[in-house]
Amino acid sequence: MLDGELLDVLSTEGKAGGGYCTSLPDYEVPFIFANFNGTQEDVEVVTHEAGHAFAGYLNRKRVPLSSCWPSMEACEVHSMSMEFFAWPWAEGFFGEDTRKFYYSHLSGALTFIPYGTMVDHFQHIIYEQPDLTPAQRHGVWKELMGIYMPWMRLDGEIPFYSEGEHWQLKHHIYSSPFYYIDYCLAQTVSLEFWAMIQKDLPDAWRHYMAYASQGGSATFTDLLKNAGLKSPFEESCLREVCQAAREWLANFDLTGIA
């Protein structure tokens, strides 16, 4: 991808924010776009998009072309799990802060699930009640914050946050209604991969390849089943993956980090 200039990730003046991966079918190659800003997120974005790129490349010969990628939640498993498979390379990015990154990345993955669910819940309410005023919408967000993210302080001095206005940062709410819950489903599966990686990396990779090499040839739940993975729709799944991650975080040596 570097040789083919298929990674456009460095910041240039006027460049749009965000990150994405797409494929250029005529050339059978993936393409990654990002806008690095010198933060931990750069690494998360590029390893995330690399997961999409890898899955796209694995399935580049698939006919018809529309079956190259599965549905959105299934695609996000490729990427969110790749973020965890990339941990062995974190040291090259973070040096002495590597352990800090591990802690931040895993805890962020866990807390993302209630946050992402809140984004979905919020959309249900505002799309059902299109006549809500801007102030009422902020009120809904603020109320949901209390339910899904009770650890967040809402008494700050910046109204954008304290008054529940910052849902407007989520372009998905405007541009891709109801997409967000897909990230929550995928994050749950990626945490399943994370737990497998801790136990047996080669085995985890075999499951990943079994999953990703199917492209879009089956539905989300069948792709998971065929690769020996639990569905996030099973009640025990979320409990188990959270348990494993929580234990790891609870036993994490925070010396020199906190």
Contact set with Zn ion (CB under 5 A): 76, 79
Residue 34 CB, shortest distance to Zn ion, in Å, is 12
Residue 160 CB, shortest distance to Zn ion, in Å, is 26
Residue 96 CB, shortest distance to Zn ion, in Å, is 29
Closest CA to 34 of 49, 54, 24: 49
- CB nearer Zn ion, residue 44 or residue 76: 76
- CB nearer Zn ion, residue 53 or residue 245: 53
Residue 51 CB, shortest distance to Zn ion, in Å, is 7
- CB nearer Zn ion, residue 73 or residue 76: 76
Give the C-alpha separation, 207 to 227, whole Å.
6
> By the 8 A CB rule, do 241 and 192 touch?
yes
> By the 8 A CB rule, do 57 and 29 touch?
yes
- CB nearer Zn ion, residue 76 or residue 120: 76
By beta-carbon distance, which residue lies closest to Zn ion?
79
Residue 72 CB, shortest distance to Zn ion, in Å, is 8
- CB nearer Zn ion, residue 75 or residue 245: 75
- CB nearer Zn ion, residue 109 or residue 144: 109
Residue 3 neighbours by CB distance under 10 Å: 5
Residue 70 neighbours by CB distance under 10 Å: 24
- CB nearer Zn ion, residue 59 or residue 142: 59
Residue 52 CB, shortest distance to Zn ion, in Å, is 6
Residue 166 CB, shortest distance to Zn ion, in Å, is 21
Give the C-alpha separation, 62 to 59, whole Å.
5
